[in-house]
Amino acid sequence: MIKYNTFTLKNGLKVIHHHDKTTPMVVVNTIYNVGARDEDENRTGFAHLFEHLMFGGSKNIENYDAPLQLAGGECNAFTNNDITNYYNTLPAENLETALWLESDRMLELAFTPKSLEVQRQVVIEEFKQRYLNQPYGDVWLQFRPLIYKKHPYQWATIGKNIQHIEEASMDDVKAFFFKHYGPQNATLVIGGNVDFELVQSLVKKWYDDIPSRERYIRNITPEPKQTKERRITIERKVPSNAIYLAFRMGSRLTHDHYLGDLTSDVLSGGKSSRLYESLVKNKKLFTDISAYILGGWEDGIFLINGNLMENIDVETAESAIWDEINLLINQSITENELTKVKNKFQTAKAFQEQSLLNRVMNIAMFDLMGKLDEINNENEIYNQISVKELMDFSKRTFKKSNTSVLTIKAIK
């Protein structure tokens, strides 16, 4: 059970406090309601570029990291298609250091030409290291535009084209900052061994004078329903053929999320799951195969992807996956399988919630989703799911007309 208290400042900043007396630490987590989905299609990769620029100094503080490290702290951040999340972990007595730093960069960044120039270069190297210089590294750069034709989910957080980062100007960067990084567009979560009164007074001290900026109204055209199968085959110098099947489903905010999650566990959660047993071990078609959901907040994807055994062609592999899907639809899953994945979820959640940082991030995510009051209901939601519901989910999701297929042909 995660407990919390909330309050909101006049400038619109929502603050959530989570008390944990057993830790010597405090986590200061700021989630901004901005992700790659909010980018202009001709200026992609900005939310992620910002994740780098946010450490390049702010209006009154030359360097973000050094004062934090001096106070024994550590920080990091991540960006996805929906949100950007910044966090600091430091000894609880030094809470104020993190608030001083975080509030100043919410007030205004330093916007030094040097920082922009260097971080552009760092992001380009990140792009090479993660997407270009790895086998199968560019799959998502190719696959997203196949699945999404209208919605900004068609580009990855690193950007659709590295030129967008190369060409980012200071004016673009400033405009993006003032549009998205104000107090009205953020939730601040503070968790750890600090009490509510202290949090209240220190947050007021450092954040009250930050002006509220114009509220950004998100206006994204939803991706139209898919009506026929889409395919792409790419040839790459990789060791083995691979296949990716994507099915559109409901977003993270819908009940589909939970149904998709359990269905993916039935298919590939652990060694007793169906895909491993049937396709890896018995039929020997794949060396590995997994099913999972991408819980986008605006639209969801159910994904199955596998690497093929040598000498197995992609057609055989794909039709074997469809055989498993049809079993799911026609013969349903057993009560035993359902109990198993529910039990595994409970264990995983209990371990995950041991970490203060995880609890704090969860609070931030749930709040931004507008579901804070549901944060402690997840076990209950999963427990109530029936075999029938999963079967209905499979029927409406796993249709050829709702499928995008990417295959990779290995070439020498």
Partner 1 sequence: MNRNIAPDFTKAQKIDLVFPQKIELENGIQLFWLNETQDDTVKLDISWDAGSKYQNKALVASFTNALLLSGSPDLNAHQISDKIDFQGGFISHDVDKDNGGITLYGLNNKISDIFSVFSTAFNQAVFPESEVNKLIDIRKNGFNISMEKVSTLCRQSFNKNVFGDETGYGKVAQLDDFNKVNQQDIVDFYNTFYLKSKPTLFLVGQVDDDFINELKKWSSKMGTTTPTCPPQNFKQTKGRVEIKKEDAIQSAIRIGRLMIQKNHKDYYKFQILNTILGGYFGSRLMANIREDKGYTYGIGSGLSVLDDSAYFFISTEVAKDVTESTITEIYNEINRLKNEYITKNELEKVKNYLLGEFLRHADGPIAMMENFKNIFFNNLSEDYYTDFIHAVNDVTPQQLKDLANKYWDKNEFLEVIAG
- Min CB(87)–partner 1 separation in Å: 12
**∠ CA(317), CA(323), CA(329), 5° rounding?**
145
| Type and span of the H or E element at 25 | strand 25-32
Shortest distance, CB of residue 134 to partner 1, whole angstroms? 6
- Cross-strand bridge partners of residue 30: 86, 188
CA distance 199 to 195: 6
357-388 core/surface letters (b: 16 or more CB in 10 A; e: else): ebbbbbbbbbbbbeebeebeebeeebeebeee
In angstroms, what is the minimal distance from the CB of 106 to partner 1? 12
H/E run at residue 186: strand 186-192
Between residues 93 and 229, which has the closer beta carbon with respect to partner 1? 93
For residue 100, the minimal CB distance to partner 1 (Å) is 5
Looking at beta carbons only, is 168 or 301 nearer to partner 1? 168
Q: What angle do CA 62, 65, 66 make, to 5 degrees?
A: 75
Q: Is the CB of 124 or the CB of 146 nearer to partner 1?
A: 124
The distance of closest approach from Cβ of residue 142 to partner 1 in the complex, given in angstroms and rounded to an integer, is 17
Compare residues 26 and 259 and give the one whose CB is closer to partner 1. Answer: 26
Q: Which is nearer to partner 1, 69 or 142 (CB)?
A: 69
CB of 160 to partner 1, least distance (A): 19
For residues 248 and 398, is the Cβ–Cβ distance under 8 A? no
Angle between helices 387-397 and 335-352 (to 10 degrees): 90
- DSSP for 58-124 reads BSS-S-SHHHHHHTT-EEEEEE-SS-EEEEEEEEGGGHHHHHHHHHHHHH-B---HHHHHHHHHHHH
CB of 228 to partner 1, least distance (A): 33
Cβ proximity to partner 1: between 266 and 372 the closer is 266
> Shortest distance, CB of residue 281 to partner 1, whole angstroms?
6
Q: Which is nearer to partner 1, 20 or 38 (CB)?
A: 20
The amino acid present at 408, given as its one-letter code, is I
Would you say 93 or 315 has its CB closer to partner 1? 93
Phi, psi for residue 281 in degrees, rounded to 5 = -85, -50
Shortest reach from residue 42's CB to partner 1, in Å: 24
Tell me which long-range contacts 3-9 makes (C-beta under 8 A, separation of at least 24). Answer: 4/363, 4/372, 5/196, 6/372, 7/200, 9/183, 9/203, 9/204, 9/207, 9/208
Residue nearer to partner 1 on the CB measure, 147 or 238: 238
Question: Which token pair is 379?
Answer: 């076990």
What is the C-alpha separation between 36 and 46, in angstroms, rounded?
7
Tokens 């990417």, located at residue? 406
As measured in angstroms, the least distance from the Cβ of 36 to partner 1 is 18
Would you say 220 or 350 has its CB closer to partner 1?
A: 350
Please give the Cα distance from 307 to 280 (Å, whole number).
Answer: 10
Residue-wise DSSP of 388-401: HHHHHHHHHHS-GG
DSSP letter at 298 equals S
CA 89 to CA 354: how far, in whole Å?
15
Nearer to partner 1, 42 or 311 (CB): 311
Min dist CB 8 to partner 1, Å, is 21
